Amino acid sequence: MATVLHLVGDILVGPQDSRPECWVIGGQVTYAAPTGAGHDVQTVRGWVLPGLVDAHCHVGLDAHGPVDAATAEAQVRTDRDAGTLLIRDAGNPSDTRWIDDREDLPRIVRAGRHIARTRRYVRNYAHEIEPDELVAHVRLEARRGDGWVKLVGDWIDRDTGDLTPCWPRQALVAAVAAAHEEGARTTAHCFGEQSLHDFAAAGTDCIEHATGLDEESTRAFAAQGITIVPTLVNVANFPDLAEPARDKYPTYHRHMLDLHARRYATIAQAFEAGIPIRTGTDAGGALAHGLIAREALELERAGLPRTAVLAAATWEAREWLGRPGIEEGDPADLVVYPADPRADLQVLGDPAAIILRGNRIRGGRRPAP
């Protein structure tokens, strides 16, 4: 007897659009009730969203570098149980392709390994190269990834004692063009101001963190449609990140504290300007996994309306990554909540049921006999 899930309540198919029910049949969403006999119908009630998207999450990585498969599995299970069913892995030296074969684990869109300037990023994370090697490595990672390439745009420069861009602008222009020729999009880790101007001039597709957005770069990002993934749960740690440099690199220390202090205003201005924003946690480096609900609350604190935050974490994020949502025939990757997240985003931290690839992974009430 085939199992059919009957989802009843509010099926949130868009920011302003919901339907009263849907079914999961053969692993797919349908809005047509099953016909005929031979179905074991199980009812799940609540508010239903497409699986949440963490657009900056490193499965298979910790603060020291690559981790083993058992650790990576624990990481991705933690994300799944928090409602994240689609991940963009924004830079990783680990091979996590084995996750694609698991029906019980989220889908991952990979950006290949980070590409950084020599001695200008976290040890054991990236290809560490010089500008004349950049295009070749971008082409390499474009072919290894799932349509994305991740560069490190800036980091502390110990010669200047502050954040400075890692790449000459001309090298970035060639690198972004090479990625696009390979059919891949580019994103970059950027904290400071100047690197954002350079990446905008190069025509990047996305920027991670983007704490250094100023009036000029905000206009450029909005005009070009460059997406940002603010990772505010990570930016919250800037004071701790900068503290060891207080005495030796005081300019860098002050700079990081300033970026931290204006983080909410920066993202609010980006949203008001029309810059596309997506949810991402930066889990897997120094941060724990399963923080997607906290990131949603941080975006709301920055001034984004709840529906905009939900769109950044679900419908719009999935469309941006070229993955299905919650339409007829879409794969059933769904999260069910006990209350309406449009009224209170804290609900996102407590999923009532998780349905992945059409299977109820956990939660949800069975109908009374």
Question: pLDDT of 232-252, one tens digit each?
Answer: 999 999 999 999 999 999 999
For tokens 């099953």, the residue is 34
Backbone angles phi, psi at 159, to 5 degrees: -75, -35
Q: What is the DSSP secondary structure assignment for residue 168, as one 8-state letter?
A: -
In the chain, % of residues over pLDDT 90: 94
Q: Which one, of 124, 125, 131, 122, lies nearest residue 89 by Cα?
A: 125
Region 172-194 average pLDDT? 98
In the chain, % of residues over pLDDT 70: 98
State the pLDDT at residue 1: 62
State the pLDDT at residue 37: 75
Region 288-312 average pLDDT? 98
State the pLDDT at residue 368: 29
pTM of the model: 0.96
Q: Reduced to 3 states, what is the DSSP secondary structure of residue 222?
A: helix
Tens of pLDDT, residues 251-265:
999 999 999 999 999
Alpha-carbon distance of 36 to 241, in angstroms, equals 61
Sign of the CA dihedral with 1 first, then 19, 106, and 179 last: positive
Burial of 292 (0-12, 13-18, 19+ CB in 10 A): buried
Alpha-carbon distance of 268 to 221, in angstroms, equals 14
Residues 239 and 260: beta-carbon distance below 8 Å: yes
State the pLDDT at residue 367: 33
State the pLDDT at residue 35: 86
Residues 84 and 53: beta-carbon distance below 8 Å: yes
Average pLDDT, the chain: 95
Please check the confidence at residue 366 and state whether its pLDDT lies above 60. no
Q: Set out the domains of the chain in order of their start, with CATH numbers.
A: 2-50+325-363 (2.30.40.10), 52-320 (3.20.20.140)
Rg (CA), the chain: 21
Q: Which one, of 294, 286, 293, lies nearest residue 61 by Cα?
A: 286
Region 156-170 average pLDDT? 97
